[in-house]
Amino acid sequence: MMKNARYGGVNAAVLTAMHADLSIDIERTAAHGRWLLANGCNGLGVLGTTSEANSLGISERVALMEGLVERGLSPSLLLPGVGTPALTDTVLLARRAAELGCPGVLVLPPFFYKNPSEDGLFAYFSELVHRLDTSTMIYLYHFPQQSAVPFTFDLVARLLRSFPGKIAGIKDSSGDLANTLGYIKNFAADGFEVYSGDDSALLDVLKAGAAGCITAAANVGSRVSAMVVADWDNDAAMEPQAKLKSLRKLFSSVPLIPSLKAVLGRRLDDPAWLHVRPPHLGLSDETTQRLFAGLEACQLPLEKVA
């Protein structure tokens, strides 16, 4: 496991709570963030895919970042997602994150136009680097199933050569273990931080030299993920890793964001957590029953938490 990474260890891809009118519920989101930090998380990935960030407007994203910091969450532990198709919006969000004190930002590639050239992607990130304060570290967000725009090894190498000290790492949400290991093999020795988005691969990538994980399932399984990180170099990690694999399999079989919110709603006895923005929809009764039966099979606690 990589030592001294900025976001090393367990990071939840934090859910965004909503009011009944689908406006952001910053109080509930902040409370959830505090609980995560007290229950196994080393940091919080906010405004990512699991946060429904691309269903939020730019002003809403800024308000959420500001609101979390105002409610006592240390900006040093926040990794905000700021990637948008519009360069100027990405710059605006990244600058505000830096002003708040966040050491890094997670950046999707520009994802509206499909099949962009490597030169086009390089030009986008070149502009981003030049327009940001020099202290802002950029983390790339590789999620080709959603963005349809991958970060190839050649592109990452080109960015690292051209902007030393600016491109700090990558979150790999491809679910392709060989790809994650390729990032580690090619770049980690020089301090490039690789984070897995796949809970089922956590132990494997830690042994290879990853910095940690940024995952959706950590919203409900952060304590189990922390056990894997704590014992990655000995056999004690095997049992919690098996639970993470079961958890990943379960959440891959149900609508992810509504299901995670359903778990929080039950744990907290708080139906307000069930609100999701369209096109997401709430779970059917049948899916809800299957979800909770699956969680019991994973041997994860379902008790109410403060």
Give residue 263's identity as a one-letter amino acid code: V
Residue 14 is assigned to a structural domain of this protein: yes
Band the pLDDT of 173: cuts 50, 70, 90: very high
Q: Residue 301: its pLDDT value, please?
A: 53
Residue 105 is assigned to a structural domain of this protein: yes
Residue 101 Rama label (left phi>0; alpha psi -120 to 50; beta): left
Q: Residue 5: its pLDDT value, please?
A: 97
Q: Residue 297: its pLDDT value, please?
A: 87
By mean pLDDT, which of 151-165, 238-252, 290-304 is the weakest? 290-304
Of 233, 230, 240, 174, nearest to 208 (Cα)?
Answer: 233
Residues 28-38 have a mean pLDDT of 98
Tell me how far apart the alpha carbons of residues 224 and 215 are, in angstroms, rounded to a whole number: 12
Residue 168 is assigned to a structural domain of this protein: yes
Strands, E, within the chain: which ranges? Answer: 9-13, 43-46, 78-80, 104-107, 137-142, 167-172, 193-196, 212-215
pLDDT at 300 over 90: no
pLDDT at 305 over 60: no
Residue 113 is assigned to a structural domain of this protein: yes
pLDDT at 229 over 90: yes
Answer yes or no: are the C-beta atoms of 171 and 214 closer than 8 Å.
Answer: yes
Residues 117-143 have a mean pLDDT of 95
Domain that holds residue 145: 9-234
State what percent of residues in the chain have pLDDT above 90. Answer: 95
pLDDT at 138 over 60: yes
Q: What is the pLDDT of residues 249-296, one digit of tens each?
A: 999 999 999 999 999 999 999 999 999 999 999 999 999 999 999 998
Q: Residue 303: its pLDDT value, please?
A: 45
Residue 126 is assigned to a structural domain of this protein: yes
Residues 22-46 have a mean pLDDT of 98
Residues 183-195 have a mean pLDDT of 98
Q: How many domains does the chain have?
A: 1
Give the full edge-to-edge strand order of the sheet including 137-142. 78-80, 43-46, 9-13, 212-215, 193-196, 167-172, 137-142, 104-107
CATH code at 137?
Answer: 3.20.20.70
Q: What is the pLDDT of residues 58-70, one digit of tens each?
A: 999 999 999 999 9
Q: Residue 164: its pLDDT value, please?
A: 95
State what percent of residues in the chain have pLDDT above 70. Answer: 98
Residue 15 is assigned to a structural domain of this protein: yes
DSSP symbol at 97: H
Residue 94 is assigned to a structural domain of this protein: yes
Tell me how far apart the alpha carbons of residues 14 and 139 are, in angstroms, rounded to a whole number: 17
Residue 32 is assigned to a structural domain of this protein: yes
